Amino acid sequence: VFLWENEIPDLSSVISFSHKNTIMSGGKIAKALIGGNWKCNGTVASVKAMAEVLNKAGHFSANSEVVIAAPSIHLAALKSYLRPDVAVSAEDVAFKTGYGAFTGEISADMLADAGINWTLTGHSERRVGFGYPGETSHVVGVKTKNAISKGLSVMACIGEQLADRQNGTTMNVVSEQLEAIKASLVEADWKKVVIAYEPVWAIGTGVTASPQQAQETHAEIRAWLKKHVSATVAAETRIIYGGSATASNCKELYSQPDINGFLVGGASLKPEFVDIINCTK
């Protein structure tokens, strides 16, 4: 039994978002991106149940844009279940565009045709691989461009392993990943990009980067964008934190000036995800 019994509110005034992010007086981007990544989880019944939790949660924070990345087999059903102010995202997109002999792939064209307007690219689990070689940064850059070229927005994931953090080479790794994305894009494409910083050592481990650690790296990423892309892109691009954000730590993390939301893993499958959405109030 879920605790939220409110009717779905009238959302007609809040479901249209501008490509240009509004900057608050303190310099922080006003509209946070709260993303859920369901990974390889969900049954027909549990997907419908989690949609019901979100649908009955009442008004979300006006400062949060909510996007749920779900396994491809559930995308159409989830989209049909969810309230209109929650977008649905793919968890990956094909290296090739169009239609053809790409067995097992889902192209950006197919996602757009199905009304799926978001995708993840470059998630750390796909970069590492599942018992076989993972995706290179070049592959991630091409996939990011493919999605944008078909009108999708992208949560492009970057981040370092534990050894990189311990060796002080976090920005070396992150810079290489960003450079590959930049190489595939033109400046206008960045309006469709959200950067998801994932310290890999803090994903699913219960260990979270401190707010100060997360802020430091987010600020360095923004400085990289300013130096290598443009000051406008640096100021307007949302950089979200993807390292085990929970209802208990999200407010402190979000208080940092360069943290513009979250990419939430396991907690996005639980009712506490509503608390994370509303931590931006």
Question: Which sequence positions are flagged as catalytic?
Answer: 123, 198
Mean pLDDT for 211-218 is: 95
Q: Which two tokens stand for residue 201?
A: 């050592």
User: Is residue 135's pLDDT more than 70?
Assistant: yes
Give the three-class secondary structure for 209. coil
Give CA separation, 262 vs 37, 188, 247, in Å. 10, 23, 11
In this predicted structure, what is the pLDDT of residue 26?
Answer: 60
The pLDDT tens digits of the residues spanning 68-111 come to: 999 999 999 999 999 999 999 999 999 999 999 999 999 999 99
Structural contact between residues 124 and 118, judged by C-beta atoms closer than 8 angstroms: no
CA dist., res. 278 & res. 175, Å (int): 31
Tell me the whole-structure pTM to 2 decimals.
0.91
Q: What is the DSSP string of 48-91?
A: HHHHHHHHTS-PPPTTEEEEEE--GGGHHHHHHHS-TTEEEEES
The pLDDT tens digits of the residues spanning 20-78 come to: 687 764 679 989 999 999 999 999 999 999 999 999 999 999 999 999 999 999 999 99
CA atoms within 13 A on the CB side of 111: 35
The pLDDT tens digits of the residues spanning 156-187 come to: 999 999 899 999 999 999 999 999 999 999 99
